[in-house]
Amino acid sequence: MRKRSRIITSIISTALLGASVLTGTNSALAADGGLAPYDPSHAGGTITLVAAAAAGTLDPKVNYTGQYWELYQATYDGLLAFKYADGKGSFEIVPDLATALPVFSNGEKTLTFTLRSGIKFSNGQPVTVADVKASFERIFKVSSPTAGSFYNGIVGATACLKVPATCNLDKGVVVDPKKNSIVINLVAPDETITSKLAVPHAAINPASSPSKDAGTTPIPTTGPYMYKSYDPNKELVMVRNPYFKEWSHDAQPQGYPDEIDYKFGITPTAQVTAVENNQANWVYDPIPADRLNEIGTKYASQVHVNPLTAMWYLPMNVNIAPFNNVRARQAVDYAIDRAAMVKIFGGTQLAAPVCSFLPPNFPGHVDYCGYTKGATPDKPAVSWTAPDLALAKKLVQESGTAGQAVGIVVSDDDVNKQMGVYLQSVLNSIGYKATVKPISGNIQFTYIQNTKNKVQISVTQWYQDYPAASDFLNVLLGCASFTPNSDSSINISGYCNRSFDTQMQTAMGLGLTNPTAGNKLWGQLDEQVMKDAPVAVAFTPKQLDFISSGTKNYHFSLQYKMFVDQLQTK
Amino acid sequence: MALKESSNAIFSESPGKIALRTLRRDKRSIISLSILGFIVAISLLAPVYSHYVAHTDPFNSTLDATTTIGGKVVSVLQPSTTGLGLGVTPIGPTWNLRGYFLGADGQGRDVLARLLYGGRNTLLIGVSSGAICIFLALLIGVVAGYRKGWIDAILSRLLDVIWAFPVYLLAISLSVVLLTSGLTIGFIHLGPGSFALPIFIIGVVYIPYVARPIRAQVLALREREFVRAAVGIGAKDSTIIFREILPNIIPSVLVFIPIIVALCMLTESALSFLSIGVQPPQASWGTIINDGLALLYTRPLVGIAPGLLIVLTAASLNLYGDAVRDALDPKTRARGDA
């Protein structure tokens, strides 16, 4: 998942994954790492969130932005959910609309659920197994961005992907209204299927939901909040769902504010000022670089910094010059000064240089760096220390690509533009003629994916959808993720190595039977693919949340970040 | 008696000499030319400053650069050491010409060095696009006004089309399109980063503002007795245009020059501020203001310094334009003499 034009410029802490909040945390935790029981004495009030722009469609099957996935926690539910818990606890998958975790059978290819009874949508209609089946079919009917990558393993999905309008999952999602049971049949075992069933694209919506992107029209919810109104140019208003009754504190706890207002069209610097003045509760956008020191000193108790499983990276198009030459790509990997990029991002408190594809403390991650001074991909160092410009220049000369023009496509926000200018300086210094092409953050991510645009190199980010190595390596570098001439071709480099793909399938299979061996293989695949250098990984960022002084009960989930509905104003 | 002598002296000089003499005496002219001369001189000295004084490369990112202040070596980009230690701030003004006199920008580059190079580019584009604009406007205005008929109709409608668009909207549209892929006319190709693109774009959008008044003036001149007399004695069109028409519209053109150059310079700065003019790593005053925008709270000088230079240059050019107009206008001169 990628954040909307997002740069998380704010962010700090050298804490390891799991040490969630750096300062001023007032979170109440249950003994098991989950949230403390609901305390009605803190309920009420309005939480105001501010952002520069909305994140597009409100449809939970279509929207693929961190900005709205953060809200979907409080509104939509799937059969399963990631636990409402701080830190690593949020990676635990718990039953949500299902009564229990699925029972696996048929060689891990069949999952059986029982739907909870008595749950209603925010329009008053009961949630039925028919809604569940319709929701899975709707994933394909609305061409959800993850239909082909997350849910293509459901029996019948192949046909649905070919002809979405008539999608029928009679054999893939078998429901029994009498028993209130749901059986999901897969064509092959999938180690990450439970994670995929817990993300918003697998949320259960009414069967009457439109067979196309609902856009700005809210779809009835099951969580504690529903959408009252949505104007992407102005405001999104969430109010309490009158039909909600807490059925699982771990999956969907009751929320505290009576209303959540998300205001759009406010510049990042105005957002910071609004929070400082208690006119808003939370800033969505990255804190402007020249205000970081201010909030880190004057408002330190209102700053929360958390590590993220994410990366900033430079995809290089392996199918067009000059990066269709592996030496040219390796040259870029050697040349970039990751410490300099961390400085542009906001300093060492906010990010850390990395070389590996899988982020630190992520399943399968191995500490290695093949592209640092004194190391090679075959004899990697433990970590990145410094760039090697001399070697980079030599590789460019050897590749025969010196003097070629290179266009760098970046988002037009300050941090990305600065990254682009820095990269231009580096590429010029190793022998290319580089130009920076800043384009609107609203389209940059899809623009760089489409091969029609002939993008040679770009700067972008990736944030995990769920905690599994396949969400990075398979999603971003798998052949199935490369679709020429499409805006939805998340394998931006266009890297397709069949042998590597086969090994990834093996790793995914191992994840089911022997997760330790699976993760070890993922680590090896990480090192292996970086020898081909389809991307240059720059650094791993951290998340900074800046909340107003009157806002309490801050909790941070490593899965979906801040729990908006758990914030208190009383 | 003294007045009579003075009047004789005036009538014995050419209008050009009179205008020059008037300009030399005009305080506005002296002050504005001095300021312009200073700005042009320091801008031209940009390479000298960066190579021999500050020893810095203003076009390359130097995020790990250091400088010496009071005998101590300090990092040009300084991580915060207070509170939570958030953020990295570029060094502020050292007030030392040997390095970072006005501080550094977000890429660790010397702001003064970029300001001087930026001045060269802004002035170059302003003057070049102004020259293109004046030349083409003169050509179109004279041809349309002198030939009249269908040529005038076509050229006038063309000017109307350009005029119909707000200047900045047209410039932004052209820039966005041309800066993406460059411009190819026959065998001539202008790359996306070429200065020729903003020069061409800005030169074109201001043509109607000069061409229309010239055309109107030519239309009026064409009916004057001396032109009719030239036609009557069988003078060629080119002779009439170069000997009878052009000398009479040159004063208007001279007045236009500083004003159009100022407008072109401002437009260049605006486009560069919007990232659709001068492209990185090159600098112009507009791009430096853009860089400074992100440092407004911590290093406001990065944005203020180029802003001040733009104001000074544009004001000087306008002031000089006023002085030229007054010097070339016989009525104003007569009022001055009285």
Cβ–Cβ < 8 Å for A413, A303:
no
Q: Which helix (H) or strand (E) holds B79?
A: strand B77-79
Q: B309 CA to chain A: closest CA distance, Å?
A: 24
Question: By CA distance, what is A423's nearest residue in B?
Answer: B61
- Segment B288-303 shows an average pLDDT of 93
Q: A111 CA to chain B: closest CA distance, Å?
A: 47
Contact residues on chain A for B106, CB-CB shorter than 8 A:
289, 344, 418
The verdict on a CB contact (< 8 Å) between B106 and A418 is yes
| B-proximal residues of A, 506-565, CB under 8 Å | 544
Rounded Cα distance, B64 and A333, in Å: 18
Contact residues on chain A for B60, CB-CB shorter than 8 A:
425, 428-429
**Best mutation site among B57, B62, B84, B293 for testing chain A: the one with the most A CBs within 10 Å?**
B84
A343 touches chain B (CB under 8 A): yes
Question: By CA distance, what is A424's nearest residue in B?
Answer: B281
| pLDDT under 70: residue ranges of chain A | 1-33
Question: By CA distance, what is B281's nearest residue in A?
Answer: A421
Pick B61's closest partner by Cβ from A339, A347, A422.
Answer: A422
The verdict on a CB contact (< 8 Å) between A290 and B89 is yes
- Segment B252-281 shows an average pLDDT of 92
User: Between A and B, how many residue pairs show a Cβ–Cβ distance under 8 A?
Assistant: 120
Q: A22 CA to chain B: closest CA distance, Å?
A: 9
b/e map B305-333, b = 16+ CB within 10 Å:
bbbebbeebbebbbbbbbbbbbbbbeeeb
Using DSSP's 3-state secondary structure scheme, residue A381 falls into: strand
Of residues A469, A382, A518, the one with CA closest to residue A195: A469
Of residues B115, B125, B169, the one with CA closest to residue B307: B115
Of residues A333, A319, A335, the one with CA closest to residue A491: A319
What is the model's pLDDT at position A178? 96
Of residues A473, A494, A462, the one with CA closest to residue A317: A494
Rounded Cα distance, A345 and A238, in Å: 33
- Segment B255-264 shows an average pLDDT of 95
**Best mutation site among B86, B176, B279 for testing chain A: the one with the most A CBs within 10 Å?**
B86
Pick A297's closest partner by Cβ from B83, B89, B275.
Answer: B83
The verdict on a CB contact (< 8 Å) between B87 and A344 is no
The verdict on a CB contact (< 8 Å) between A349 and B64 is no
What is the model's pLDDT at position A331? 98
What is the model's pLDDT at position A7? 34
pLDDT tier at B335 (50, 70, 90 boundaries)?
low
Q: B15 CA to chain A: closest CA distance, Å?
A: 51
Q: B294 CA to chain A: closest CA distance, Å?
A: 7
What is the model's pLDDT at position B134? 97
A79 touches chain B (CB under 8 A): no
- Segment B1-17 shows an average pLDDT of 60
Give the contacts of B51 (CB within 8 A, at least 6 positions apart).
Answer: none
Of residues B336, B310, B304, B311, the one with CA closest to residue B323: B336
The verdict on a CB contact (< 8 Å) between A296 and B82 is yes
A103 touches chain B (CB under 8 A): no
Neighbours of A162 (CB within 10 A): 10
Cβ–Cβ < 8 Å for A151, A161:
no
Give the contacts of B337 (CB within 8 A, at least 6 positions apart).
Answer: B6, B10
pLDDT tens figures, A154-202: 999 999 999 999 999 999 999 999 999 999 999 999 989 999 999 999 9
A294 touches chain B (CB under 8 A): yes
* Mean pLDDT taken over chain B: 90
B291 or A15, higher pLDDT: B291
The verdict on a CB contact (< 8 Å) between B107 and A294 is no
What is the model's pLDDT at position B177? 78
Rounded Cα distance, A100 and B132, in Å: 76
Pick B86's closest partner by Cβ from A293, A343, A436.
Answer: A293
Q: B93 CA to chain A: closest CA distance, Å?
A: 16
A337 touches chain B (CB under 8 A): yes
Pick A347's closest partner by Cβ from B80, B180, B280.
Answer: B80
Contact residues on chain B for A303, CB-CB shorter than 8 A:
84, 86
- Segment B159-178 shows an average pLDDT of 86
B330 or A517, higher pLDDT: A517
Contact residues on chain B for A412, CB-CB shorter than 8 A:
275
Give, rounded to a whole angstrom, the gap between the first and last alpha carbons of chain A. Answer: 34
Contact residues on chain B for A425, CB-CB shorter than 8 A:
59-61, 107, 281
Q: How far is CA B171 from the centre of its chain?
A: 15
B17 or A261, higher pLDDT: A261
Contact residues on chain B for A291, CB-CB shorter than 8 A:
87, 297
Contact residues on chain B for A289, CB-CB shorter than 8 A:
87-88, 106, 294-295
Of residues A479, A485, A475, A432, the one with CA closest to residue A454: A485
Give, rounded to a whole angstrom, the gap between the first and last alpha carbons of chain B. Answer: 15
A322 prior amide bond cis, ω within 30: yes
Question: By CA distance, what is B89's nearest residue in A?
Answer: A290
How far apart, in Å, are the Cα atoms of A266 and each of A237, A260, A275?
Answer: 16, 17, 12
pLDDT(B183) > 90: no
Of A163-167, B8-12, B25-29, B241-245, least confident by mean pLDDT is B8-12
- Which ipTM was obtained for this model? 0.84
Give the contacts of A7 (CB within 8 A, at least 6 positions apart).
Answer: A286, A345, A411, A413, A415, A416, A461
A417 touches chain B (CB under 8 A): yes
B281 prior amide bond cis, ω within 30: yes
Structure tokens at A363: 């399943």
Of residues B165, B175, B243, the one with CA closest to residue B209: B165
What is the model's pLDDT at position B338? 45
DSSP A223-260: SSEEEEEEETTTEEEEEE-TT---S-TTTSPPPS-SEE
A335 touches chain B (CB under 8 A): no
A12 touches chain B (CB under 8 A): yes
Between vectors from CA A133 to CA A131 and to CA A138, what angle results, nearest 5°? 90
Give residue A155's identity as a one-letter amino acid code: V
Q: How many residues does chain B have?
A: 338
Using CB atoms within 10 A of its CB, is residue A6 exposed (0-12), middle (13-18) or buried (19+)? buried
Rounded Cα distance, A173 and A133, in Å: 6
Pick B294's closest partner by Cβ from A414, A424, A429.
Answer: A414
Question: By CA distance, what is B84's nearest residue in A?
Answer: A296
Question: By CA distance, what is A299's nearest residue in B?
Answer: B83
How does DSSP classify residue A142?
Answer: T
The verdict on a CB contact (< 8 Å) between B86 and A10 is yes
A355 touches chain B (CB under 8 A): no
Q: B164 CA to chain A: closest CA distance, Å?
A: 27
Cβ–Cβ < 8 Å for A167, A140:
yes
A373 touches chain B (CB under 8 A): no
Pick B280's closest partner by Cβ from A291, A300, A436.
Answer: A436
A295 touches chain B (CB under 8 A): yes
Q: A309 CA to chain B: closest CA distance, Å?
A: 20
Q: B97 CA to chain A: closest CA distance, Å?
A: 25
Instruction: Look up tokens 């459901």; give the residue.
Output: A154
The verdict on a CB contact (< 8 Å) between B192 and A435 is yes
What is the model's pLDDT at position A24? 36
The verdict on a CB contact (< 8 Å) between A422 and B295 is no
Cβ–Cβ < 8 Å for A548, A302:
yes
Angle between helices A289-298 and A268-276 (to 10 degrees): 10
Structure tokens at A461: 């980010």
Of residues A466, A473, A461, the one with CA closest to residue A558: A466
A288 touches chain B (CB under 8 A): yes
Angle between helices A414-429 and A338-345 (to 10 degrees): 160
- Segment B199-225 shows an average pLDDT of 94
pLDDT tier at B111 (50, 70, 90 boundaries)?
very high
Q: How many residues does chain A have?
A: 570
The verdict on a CB contact (< 8 Å) between B294 and A428 is no
Contact residues on chain A for B63, CB-CB shorter than 8 A:
337, 340, 343-344, 422
Helices (H), chain B: 2-12, 15-25, 27-44, 46-48, 111-147, 149-164, 167-181, 196-205, 207-222, 225-232, 237-239, 246-273, 285-293, 301-328, 330-337
Using DSSP's 3-state secondary structure scheme, residue A373 falls into: coil
